[in-house]
Amino acid sequence: MFEIIEKKQLNKTVTLMEVVAPYVAKKVKPGQFIILRVNEKGERIPLTVFDFNREKGTIKIIFQIVGATTKLLNELKKGDKIHDVAGPLGKASNLDGIKKVAVIGGGVGCAIAYPTAKYLHEQNSIVHSIVGFRTKELIILKDQFEKISDRFILTTDDGSEGDKGLVTNSLEKLILAGENYDRVIAIGPLIMMKYVCLLTKKYNIKTIVSMNPIMIDGTGMCGGCRITYDNRICFACVEGPDFDGHLIDFDEAIKRNLMYKDLEKKALEKTCNLLKGDS
């Protein structure tokens, strides 16, 4: 059992938790993830580690309430325990030798993009961050990003804060203005990563994305997380989650992520009713 020692609501649907998980805290590196199970009957879901404290043996996770499991997770309070936390899983991001980088974060994907940007900043890379949200209320980690970025751009789809428009518009402007990045790192919804990759391919800038497909074990056992990468089947949990975005079949990945859409909707409705009953 893994105790929650801190819980913070970052916005209406995004929560940060600090959890005691000594094995993970001791070894985790940027880009790696955990699998957790909220309770005894829970499903296993992957979540990327946002931050860690090796001395305290704790990790921080940030999650958005998107389905039944994240909703149940969000019901837990400080002092409660998560039934299972396993990890760290996947390969650590390879961030060596990057001189100038554009880090693109979309929505809750910013929670994964931030530690990467911070790490690069600490390695003396020039970091330009472009973070995008649907609307003002959904903004997270703004101050943190600003602090570690040589250049910081915030976009909202509706223009309620920052630049109105998509992250790809801002990125293209910077590229056209002569910013010569040797790497773009894009983490967010599949559709955002797809369009960032289409753009950077045009300008021939190597682009790394972090894939977060459906998975069960996270150790290569189920094969549920398979994606088509460079025209071959790849298990994202062991070969990823970071991949060269120009070689990913995004259209397939988007369709695969919808496999349980109907079942998930039902499960969420059921959970909502359950929680109603409790309160």
List contacts with other proteins (CB under 8 A). Answer: 23-24, 26-27, 37, 41-44, 68-69, 72, 83-89, 216-224, 226-228, 233, 238, 252, 255-256, 258-260, 263-264, 267
Nearer to other proteins, 88 or 107 (CB): 88
| One-letter identity of residue 215 | M
* Closer by beta carbon to other proteins, 120 or else 237: 237
Question: To the nearest whole angstrom, how small is the minimum distance from the Cβ of residue 218 to other proteins?
Answer: 8
- Judged by beta carbon, residue 181 or residue 243, the one nearer other proteins is 243
Minimum distance, C-beta of residue 228 to other proteins, in the bound complex (Å) = 6
CB of 271 to other proteins, least distance (A): 8
Min CB(99)–other proteins separation in Å? 30
Residue 45 CA to residue 37 CA, distance in Å, equals 7
H or E element, residue 174: helix 167-176
- Decide whether 82 or 95 has the Cβ nearer to other proteins: 82
3-state secondary structure of 82: strand
For tokens 């929560």, the residue is 15
CB closer to other proteins out of 99 and 221: 221
What is the residue-wise DSSP string for 87-115?
EEESPPP--TT--EEEEEEEGGGHHHHHH
Least distance in Å: CB of 7 to other proteins? 21
In angstroms, the CA 204 to CA 209 distance is 15
Measure CA 64 to chain center.
10
> CB of 186: closest distance to other proteins in angstroms?
22
Tokens of 200: 């950077």
Instruction: Report, in Å, the least distance between residue 133 CB and other proteins.
Output: 29
The C-alpha angle 103, 106, 111, rounded to 5 degrees, equals 75
Reference 103, options 129, 142, 125; nearest CA is: 129
Our CB check for other proteins shows the closer of 12 and 265 to be 265
Burial class (CB in 10 A: 0-12, 13-18, 19+), 14: buried
- Closer residue to other proteins, CB minimum distance, 44 or 100: 44
Structure tokens at 107: 């929505």
Task: Please say whether the beta carbons of 120 and 103 come within 8 A.
Answer: yes
Tokens 């001189």 sit on residue: 99
